Structure 1
């Protein structure tokens, strides 16, 4: 089974993916963003646009996830923002056409909620308590704003609200573990109980965020 976790930048995709992996034995996170950043790094700086516009990214994601789903004996989790319906069909849709059990979820929140999360994504905030740290793309040290992600926010929220991007899960008033629980129920999976204390959760989520800092 593939769990594709979609949503705007700052929506909690990566944290939710790793929460599920922590509590679902045999599961693995396969991040399609790694494919994209690898492709970008092979190009001269002046040619480094949105890697999703590269057919090689869309084809590569399908090839890599198809291999993982075929050979790995466990659930595969892919946290990745995709807002273009055509690109969505070429990746998520194509994997379903190949016969895989694909479950797609879009994490949504009100605009102000996502903006607050984006503005809390600096390294200083990571070591403090963040209920829903979210995706770590473009994170920088200190209180500087993630202006790229903020610039994409309205577009992401508008496009992802469409019916083709269901199942929609609203996260304004919930936590990462509870969102993981909800995805598991909808996918027919059973997670281990979340018996982790608040301090340990904060430290672990901070570690996830730091490991997924992007310098590109």
Structure 2
């Protein structure tokens, strides 16, 4: 089974994916974004755009996930924002055509909720403290510019199952996905402090500098 966790940039996809992975024995996280960043680094800076526009990204993601799903006994988890219907069909749709059990979930939230999460992830909280709460988020500007369009597109029926995450926790979102997918997660034994430290570490490990 493949759990494709979709949602806006800053919507909690990566945190949710790793929460499921740590509580579901035998599962693995296969991040399609890594394929995209590899392709971007091959190009000169002036040619770097949205890697999802590259056919090689779409084909590469399908090939890698097909291999993982064929050879890996456990559940595969792919946290990745995809809002273009054609791109969605050439990745999620293609994997289904290959016979894989793909469960797709779109994590949604109000604009201000996502905007706050974008400010706080990675180095955002530190930058706010130094430069002020309204300081421009240069590293997140690309995500903010596309936020409204992203939220609007992901509300479309083709991107169901929709899960609204305002006012809920990563742990509860992971639990909801597991129930909908018919999976059983191990109990969450993290306390408040340990849970925050774990999520901070997950965020730090996924900071993108390019």
Range of TM-score over shorter length? over 0.9
Q: Tell me if 1:149 matches 2:143.
A: yes
Tell me the TM-score normalised to structure 2 length.
0.94
Quote the RMSD (CA, aligned, Å): 1.0
Q: Given the superposition, is the C-alpha separation of residues 16 and 190 from structure 1 closer, same or farther in structure 2, using an over 3 Å criterion?
A: same
Shift of 1:147: 1.5
Q: What does 1:152-171 correspond to in 2, within 5 Å?
A: 152-171=146-165
Residue 23 of structure 1: aligned partner: 23
Q: Hey, what's the Cα distance between the residues in 2 that align with 1:121 and 1:208?
A: 10
Q: Given the superposition, is the C-alpha separation of residues 122 and 64 from structure 1 closer, same or farther in structure 2, using an over 3 Å criterion?
A: closer
Instruction: Tell me the secondary structure at the aligned position of residue 188 of structure 2.
Output: coil
Q: Hey, what's the Cα distance between the residues in 1 that align with 2:206 and 2:192?
A: 21
Instruction: Tell me the secondary structure at the aligned position of residue 57 of structure 2.
Output: helix
Q: Tell me if 1:177 matches 2:171.
A: yes
| Contact persistence 1:4–1:77 (CA under 8 A) | yes
Residue 112 of structure 2: aligned partner: 112
| Contact persistence 2:8–2:108 (CA under 8 A) | yes
Residue 192 of structure 1: aligned partner: 186
Which segments of 5 or more consecutive residues in structure 2 lack a partner in the other structure?
Answer: 129-135
Tell me the TM-score normalised to structure 1 length.
0.91
Per-residue CA deviation, residues 85-140 of structure 1 (Å, 9 max, x unaligned), is 00000000100000000000000001111111112224363xxxxxxxxxxxxxxx
Residue 11 of structure 1: aligned partner: 11
| Contact persistence 2:122–2:204 (CA under 8 A) | no
